[in-house]
Structure 1
Amino acid sequence: MQFKDILKVTGVLLVPLMLGVATMMLTIQNTIDAKENREKDLDIAQRERDQTADLAEEERQDNRLIEYLNGISTLMFSTQPLDPLLRAKTMSVLRQVDVKRKREVILFLYEAKLIRSDMNSGIPIISLQDVNLDNVDFSDLRPPYTQVISNFYYETRIALRGVSLRNTSFQRRNLYRSDLAQTDCTRSNFSSVDLLEVDFSYAKLVECNFENARFNSVNLQNANLSQSNITDEQLAKALTYQGAILPNGTSLAILLFTLSSSTRDGSSSTEL
């Protein structure tokens, strides 16, 4: 067989082989494309389901909030005892809504004068003891010096005793005579806040931000101020910080005892 014949035979054999390889590669590519398209379709479908679920949850929470506000408004005009019902309904709704709607609930209760400390007894109509308000943003987000005096918190006396307020912000608010005793305010933001006569007794104020906060007669008795940025000038304006844990972790009670012992020892040495 001549070389020319060999080439002819080889050419005849290569054509179907190349066609087979091309067909196989095309099939593989089509399979890959089909898989990617299925994954994209599944991803789109999942996003649509998530979006639908999110919208449904938003609607559910809006309806729950509206139902609560309407129910509380009706109760306020009824003749039956309010305190137990109001607290029960409030505790229930605050467990079911997100932080944005928790803020709306607190705004409503404050404006309705249901969580303001009574001028005489200091006790609010609704106690929020043990309520979780972590991560709620109560900041005044308007530019400084433009706040309207009649707006939320300017009369204050808001009663939040025993509430969990971790990572909560009150930036640029006025908390005049507010009751934040026994609260957990870990990593909360009190920057540029008016803290006139605020009760922080037995509060956990670990890592709190007090930058530019205005202190005047603040009760810090037995408060935990560990790793907060409260200044000596602010502490000096407190009503009391007896038994408090200072930012460096030192207990004021231990510090005073140490200083007292040192003073007595010094006096004894002098007498000797």
Structure 2
Amino acid sequence: MLLRRWTPPSQVPTTSLDHNGIPQRQRIIIRWCKLVISALIALTFLGFCIFYSLQKERFFNDGYRYKQQDQYEREQQLLFNTYIQDISDILLKITDKNNIDENILLHIRTKTLIILKNLDTKYKKDIILFLYERHLIQNNQLNLRGINLNDVELICPYDFSRLYLPDVIWSNAIFINCRLTFAILDRTYLINAKFINSTLQYTSLIDVNLDNSHFVKTIIMNTNFNGASFIQADFLQADIVQGNNFTNTDLYQAKFTNNQWEGKYINIIKHDFSNARLPNGTFQLINSEKNLIKNGNAEMECFANNQTIWTTIHDNTTLSTNITNNDTYWGNCSFVISTPTRVYQNINLNSYKHLIDTNNSILSFLGYASCNQSYFEMHIFRDDNILHALKIYSKPINGTESYRNKSMYLYGEYEYNLPIRTRSITIYFGIETFTIDHQCYFDNMTLRINQSKIN
């Protein structure tokens, strides 16, 4: 049989739609639609792949973080348990818990400082409770100065009297149900602290920073806040505020009710606001007549062989007094120096620190001497004991007084603005040269501080 090879016709059969049914423009639109649909399908698939990859990575990361957190929690618990066990073992070997050897306390301090640097806040709270229960932070036993207790919330299960934690960093502290009687928290940094349903009574909070602190349903009585800072502190919700020592405190913009400010509750127990900056920014009236130099007129140790309040720099040199036979102006005695020497006295100005640091302090220093070779000096120190001002008075100012047929010359100045951060002054007086061959008398030395801006 003869087979023939089939070949297609030269033209593909067409329908009516190919010739006249769809215009050229519509065909272009259809092609674009097909292209868009194909692109959307590809993008959807790509998006699904990306989403799947991200979800897979997120799931993996969440699992990894959970594993890491779980491991971290176990490590924290292990550190805490080990510390508790170690300290408990040490204390079990001690018979007299009220008289622990210094070396043992040092060992406990070292372990505590290390563990507190590595523990979270919730464990730090338990460490404090543990140390208190073991009587280690009561009555000045264990020294934990400098520890960081920021954000620790202390819920006291019982009386927390005689707690001893001075010089601690404890911002954002929260005290709940804490009866802090006879506690010592001097110089502790308690900014933003909250005291809730607590008691501060016969407590020492000297030089504490309590800025922005709040006292809610809290009793505050007979507490020593000398030198503390209460800028924008809120006492309005406190239950009782009576009989507290606010000497030299900074109460700028602090909030009190009238009864709290006056120490009223059932009775009246007034506060002491000496040298304090008040909520309106003014200062309690300063006693500008107070002489900060002790025994500046030689009367306190008038008939003693040696002077103990003043110190001589040169060895084997004594500062003696000369009897003036009850002179009306000079009193019974004056200081006398017969050989070249320097005499000094240190004066602490911490009780004026807020007045000084707000640039409101004026100092007056005056002293009398009978000879031209005499001088006075005033060394002014910052709060870090760095000398930042020096005043030398080697020439008299206008003013002389008669003294036993001689003249006493006035040295010093009436007004001097103390630099900010001044905390102490050392007063010197003495004889400047070695050519002097007669006695030199010194008397009536005064150092007074007043405020430059009167309320």
Q: TM-score range by the shorter chain?
A: 0.7 to 0.9
**Which of these residues, 260, 265, 276, is aligned with residue 252 of structure 1?**
276
Q: For 1:73 and 1:198, locate their aligned partners in 2 and report how far apart those are by CA, in whole Å.
A: 29
Does 1:57 pair with 2:79?
no
Given that 2:182 and 2:204 are in contact with CA atoms closer than 8 Å, whether structure 1 keeps it comes out as yes
In structure 2, the residue matched to 1:264 is none
Q: For 2:130 and 2:227, locate their aligned partners in 1 and report how far apart those are by CA, in whole Å.
A: 31
Given that 2:222 and 2:242 are in contact with CA atoms closer than 8 Å, whether structure 1 keeps it comes out as no
**Which of these residues, 109, 122, 135, is aligned with residue 113 of structure 1?**
135
In structure 2, the residue matched to 1:139 is 155
1:81-96 mapped onto 2 (5 Å cutoff): 81-96=103-118
Q: For 1:70 and 1:45, locate their aligned partners in 2 and report how far apart those are by CA, in whole Å.
A: 37
Q: CA offset at residue 242 of structure 1?
A: 1.3
Residue 162 of structure 1 aligns to which amino acid in structure 2? D
Q: CA offset at residue 16 of structure 1?
A: 8.4
Q: Which moved more, 1:217-226 or 1:19-28?
A: 19-28
Q: For 1:89 and 1:169, locate their aligned partners in 2 and report how far apart those are by CA, in whole Å.
A: 25
In structure 2, the residue matched to 1:188 is 193
1:151-166 mapped onto 2 (5 Å cutoff): 151-152=157-158, 154-166=159-171
Given that 1:230 and 1:247 are in contact with CA atoms closer than 8 Å, whether structure 2 keeps it comes out as no
- Label 1:228 to 1:155 Cα distance change in 2 as closer, same or farther (>3 A): closer
Higher strand share: 2
Q: For 1:23 and 1:6, locate their aligned partners in 2 and report how far apart those are by CA, in whole Å.
A: 27
Residue 68 of structure 2 aligns to which amino acid in structure 1? A
| TM-score normalised by L of structure 2 | 0.48
- Label 1:7 to 1:49 Cα distance change in 2 as closer, same or farther (>3 A): farther
Q: Deviations over 1:159-182 (max 9, x none)?
A: 111111110100221111111111
Percent of residue pairs identical = 18
SS at match of 2:180: coil
Q: CA offset at residue 229 of structure 1?
A: 1.4
RMSD: 3.1
Residue 27 of structure 1 aligns to which amino acid in structure 2? A
SS at match of 1:185: coil
Does 1:48 pair with 2:53?
no
Consecutive unaligned residues of structure 2, counting only runs of 5 or more, are: 1-13, 95-100, 255-272, 289-455
In structure 2, the residue matched to 1:34 is 49
In structure 2, the residue matched to 1:172 is 177
Q: Deviations over 1:78-99 (max 9, x none)?
A: 3673111000000000000000
**Which of these residues, 237, 241, 250, is aligned with residue 243 of structure 2?**
237
Given that 1:166 and 1:186 are in contact with CA atoms closer than 8 Å, whether structure 2 keeps it comes out as yes
- Label 1:31 to 1:208 Cα distance change in 2 as closer, same or farther (>3 A): same
Given that 2:211 and 2:229 are in contact with CA atoms closer than 8 Å, whether structure 1 keeps it comes out as yes
Q: For 2:134 and 2:182, locate their aligned partners in 1 and report how far apart those are by CA, in whole Å.
A: 18
Q: For 1:131 and 1:162, locate their aligned partners in 2 and report how far apart those are by CA, in whole Å.
A: 8
- Label 1:191 to 1:155 Cα distance change in 2 as closer, same or farther (>3 A): closer
Residue 139 of structure 1 aligns to which amino acid in structure 2? I
In structure 2, the residue matched to 1:127 is 143
Q: For 1:168 and 1:31, locate their aligned partners in 2 and report how far apart those are by CA, in whole Å.
A: 53
Q: For 1:19 and 1:186, locate their aligned partners in 2 and report how far apart those are by CA, in whole Å.
A: 69
Does 1:70 pair with 2:75?
no
Q: For 1:2 and 1:29, locate their aligned partners in 2 and report how far apart those are by CA, in whole Å.
A: 35
Given that 1:76 and 1:82 are in contact with CA atoms closer than 8 Å, whether structure 2 keeps it comes out as no
- Label 1:257 to 1:33 Cα distance change in 2 as closer, same or farther (>3 A): same
Q: CA offset at residue 21 of structure 1?
A: 5.0
Residue 231 of structure 2 aligns to which amino acid in structure 1? S
Q: CA offset at residue 212 of structure 1?
A: 2.7
Given that 1:110 and 1:116 are in contact with CA atoms closer than 8 Å, whether structure 2 keeps it comes out as yes
In structure 2, the residue matched to 1:212 is 217
Given that 2:160 and 2:178 are in contact with CA atoms closer than 8 Å, whether structure 1 keeps it comes out as no
Q: CA offset at residue 45 of structure 1?
A: 1.2
Residue 40 of structure 1 aligns to which amino acid in structure 2? Q
Consecutive unaligned residues of structure 1, counting only runs of 5 or more, are: 118-122, 141-150, 262-272
Does 1:97 pair with 2:97?
no
Q: CA offset at residue 50 of structure 1?
A: 1.1
Higher-Rg member (1/2) = 2
Q: CA offset at residue 38 of structure 1?
A: 0.7
Q: Which moved more, 1:94-103 or 1:249-258?
A: 249-258
Aligned length: 242
Given that 1:229 and 1:247 are in contact with CA atoms closer than 8 Å, whether structure 2 keeps it comes out as no
Q: CA offset at residue 2 of structure 1?
A: 9.7
